Each structure stands twice: as structure tokens, then as C-alpha cells.
Amino acid sequence: MEAGIVGLPNVGKSTLFNALTAAGIASENYPFCTIEPNVGIVSVPDPRLDVIQSFIKTQKVIPAILRLVDIAGIVRGASEGEGLGNKFLSHIREVDAIIHVVRCFQEPNVIHVDGSVDPIRDIETIDTELMLADLQTVESARDKAARTARSGDKDAKAKVEILNQCQTLLAEGKPLRSADWHDPEMFNIVRNYGLLTAKSVLYLANVDEDNLTGEGEVVDRVRARAAAEGGEVVPVCAKIESELSELDDYDRKEMLESVGLDEPALAVVARAAYKLLGLQSYFTAGEKEVRAWTIPIGATAPQAAGVIHSDFERGFIRAECYSLEDLETYKSEKAIREAGKLRVEGKSYVMKDGDIVHFLFNV
């Protein structure tokens, strides 16, 4: 899973990226500090892994992975090349989801490119630039598909119809994610063009230190905006998260308790990103490793096996599954099997979040 962190300059993107990845990338108080996109690989915190390991002793624990891309600040006119322009819009095309950092804090010493804090105005600035960029892509793709369609190509005709729908939405000032794409094939066509506003958005409201839960009118406006487009909002104080990232486990826990937080932002962001993208985790467990694997909600057992290796999906025979609750009750896989709680599932089985699985397959 890959998410791109976007926003206006000086909203806290790089500070937040540093906190989440502990990458130590420079963040300065001026626009365009980020010139090339910084990339960080972070583990997705999942306490279920520790529970599994407490019963199944293993050599290593491997969590699911989230790839974060810190993309430079986008300014008004970026779609026409302003600021650092289309170079950075192209980086967003490659990610699965957008994490949009919105400034919701007041700090006179941190410059705002528009002179004041107004999160909805800032969101609309970014959305407008992404929609204008999409409009250029859609018009170019539609003209190309229309030429092919004149020869009678059915696929090209379908593309023209879908691209016309996209153009209408964009011309009305509506991001493509606002459409209800019932037909998976239609959505796949939209996605294959790398259209920016078709991507799901997770808003991170960068809040003041004295408002860590994001109370009040400013963040509520962001929540209302997200709700209207099926998105999510996570209040985060990038400054505090930056401090937490520099502490050891003991001091981090102590600081979290002192500010009234249960966990660092990474755990909250990862869960919100999973929910937004319709993802879940299953686990494999053995003497060598306990590992989390990321799959879409609704994935079948063979599809889940294919995440490990394509041969597993191709030669799938069956899946032997049990739950974390079973492991906690019976204490071992052997006892789960003896109690008749080990489930044998076939090709049509739809995976459940948290399944612990052994796959059997033919090479």
C-alpha cells in the first residue's frame, strides 16, 4: 500500500513524514523545501502480532508495510506549471491513496502561502489543481480513444463514454471520487489513467498542541468536507509526533500518557488508511516468522494466497484457518486442531480480518 502526502507548502507535511517514518528528512519554514519526493517504508502497528507471538514462538515478526511518499507543496496554478508544478502532480499518479495534510493550527512564525489559516480554502486550492490536471488527462485520453472508436473498437467506445462522464464531473468542479462507480470495470478504466481526483483521500488535520483531538469549528469543517466525499479525518499534531519519534519506547509511552494519547499517530493513520482503501490483514505463523499480509476486504482464499506468491494462488488446494480468539482459548495450533476448531476452507472462502492461515497448494 502506497500513500502520497500532499498539501500546500508549510502545512506540516515533511514534519509529519519525518515523525511517521523517522527518516530525518529536512523540513524548513519556507515553501518548496521538498524538491524530490521523499519515500519512507513504515511498519503498520498491529497488536495482534504480539499476541500471536506470545503463543507461537518464532524467530521474527513481520508487520504489514505502508509506503509513504512525501510530495512537495502544491500551489495555486500547479496544473499550469506554477511552483514546481506538473513534476509533482506526476508523483501523485503513482500512489494508491492521498494523505492530504491540512493546516488547522495558528502559528504566526510559520508562514502560510495565502496569509491566513483556512483549511477549506486550502483543500479547494489543492482539489482545483488536481481537477485541472485530470481534465487535461481526460481530454487527451478521450480524443485518442475517440479516434480508435471510429474503427468500431468496442473497448475504445466504452472508454469514450466513461471519459465523457469524467469530463462532465470535472467541468462541474467535482472530484472523480465523488462519483459512485458501481461497475468495477468502469472504475478500473478510471484508475488505469492515474486520475488524481479518483483516489481516496485521508485528511490529516494538523492541530495545535492544546487541541490534540481536533475539537472546534476549524476541524469540524474539515470533517464535514470529508464526510461529504466519503473520506476520513485524523487529527494529528505534527509537532508532538515529531518529538515522540525521537524518544525510546519507555519515554514515548510516558509522553503519550502526559498528553492524553493512547498511541502515536502512525497507528491511527494506518488504520484509517486501511479503512479508506477497503483493506484488511491476515496472518501466517510458524517457527520462522509470524507475518501480517495485506489484502482487500472480500478477497478469497486463493487471492490471499497469491499475495504471498503467485504459485500459491495458481496451485491452491485449501486453506487451514483459525482465529486469534481460538489461539487465546486453546493456546496452541495443536490444541486448536484437536478441539476441532481448525477450519478447512476451499477456493470460494472469503477471508476474514485477522484469520491465521496455512495454505496448501500444488507447485
State the Cα–Cα distance between residues 299 and 2, nearest whole angstrom. Answer: 19
Domain boundaries, the chain: 2-276, 298-361
pLDDT (tens, 9 = 90+) of the chain, 363 residues, equals 788 888 888 888 888 888 888 744 434 433 333 335 678 888 888 999 999 999 999 999 999 988 888 876 665 664 555 444 455 567 778 888 999 999 998 887 776 677 788 999 999 998 998 898 899 999 999 999 999 999 989 889 989 999 999 999 999 999 998 887 777 777 778 888 889 899 989 999 999 999 999 999 999 999 999 998 888 899 999 999 999 988 888 999 999 999 999 988 888 888 888 888 889 999 999 999 999 999 999 999 999 999 999 999 999 999 999 999 999 999 999 999 999 999 999 999 999 999 999 999 997
Contacts 24+ apart (CB under 8 A), 172-177: 173/128, 173/131, 174/131, 175/127, 175/130, 175/131, 175/229, 176/134, 177/201, 177/229, 177/230, 177/231
Q: Distance between CA atoms of 231 and 229, rounded to whole angstroms?
A: 6
Give exposure, 114-139, as e/b (b: 16+ Cβ within 10 Å). eeebbbeebbebbbbbbbbbbbebbe
CA 191 to CA 183: how far, in whole Å? 12
Q: Tell me whether the CATH fold assigned to 2-276 matches the one assigned to 298-361.
A: no
**Exposure string (b/e) for 221-249, b if CB count within 10 Å is 16 or more?**
bbbebbeeeebbbbbbbbbbbbbbbeeee
Any binding-site annotation on 15?
yes
Q: What is the pTM of this model?
A: 0.84
Would you tell me which CATH number, out of the four given (3.40.50.300, 3.40.50.740, 3.40.50.2300, 1.20.1250.20), belongs to the domain 2-276? 3.40.50.300
Q: Is 109 annotated as a binding residue?
A: no
14 annotated as a binding-site residue: yes
Sheet holding 2-6, edge to edge: 38-43, 65-70, 2-6, 97-103, 200-206, 232-236
Question: pLDDT tens digits, residue range 283-337?
Answer: 999 999 999 999 999 999 999 999 999 999 999 999 999 999 999 999 999 999 9
The answer to whether 12 is a known ligand-binding residue is yes
Q: What are phi and psi of 281, to 5 degrees?
A: -120, 145
Q: Is 11 annotated as a binding residue?
A: yes
Tell me how far the alpha carbon of residue 141 is from its chain's centroid.
27
Q: Does domain 298-361 have CATH number 3.10.20.30?
A: yes
List, for residues 241-259, the tens digit of each pLDDT value: 999 988 888 999 999 999 9
